[in-house]
Structure 1
Amino acid sequence: MGGLGAPEIILILAVVLLLFGGKKIPELMKGLGKG
């Protein structure tokens, strides 16, 4: 299992957008920043 490349990162971001929707992304980033 190699490291993540650009295609994998883009795929993960796309899945996150589908699961959480665009509105929750800023909240998610705030949570990561605080954590």
Structure 2
Amino acid sequence: MPGGTEWIFILIVILLFFGGKKIPDLMRGIGKGVREFNDAKAHAKNEINEGREGKKS
């Protein structure tokens, strides 16, 4: 994991690339992607569990 100095450097680079106005949109997009990934993961897990239970019967 990066230390404190590395995080500051990363944040400065992000600010330079995207600018202050686009960062909220970037974070919103990342949050939406993470949420969709977690939903898909939970859906796949449920399907696997249902498949296991169906074979036992």
TM bin (shorter chain): 0.7 to 0.9
Per the normalisation by structure 2, the TM-score is 0.55
Aligned-pair Cα RMSD in Å: 0.6
Alignment of 1:8-27 (within 5 A): 8-27=6-25
How many corresponding residue pairs?
33
C-alpha displacement of 1:10:
0.6
Q: Which has the larger radius of gyration?
A: 2
1:1-35 CA-partner distances (Å, limit 9, x unpaired): xx200100110000010111000000011001000
Structure 2 stretches of 5 or more lacking a match?
A: 34-57
| More relative contact order, 1 or 2 (CA 8 Å, 6+ apart) | 1
Counterpart of 1:7 (choices 5, 25, 29) is 5
Give the partner amino acid of 1:15: V
**Runs of at least 4 residues of structure 1 off by over 3 A?**
none
Per the normalisation by structure 1, the TM-score is 0.85
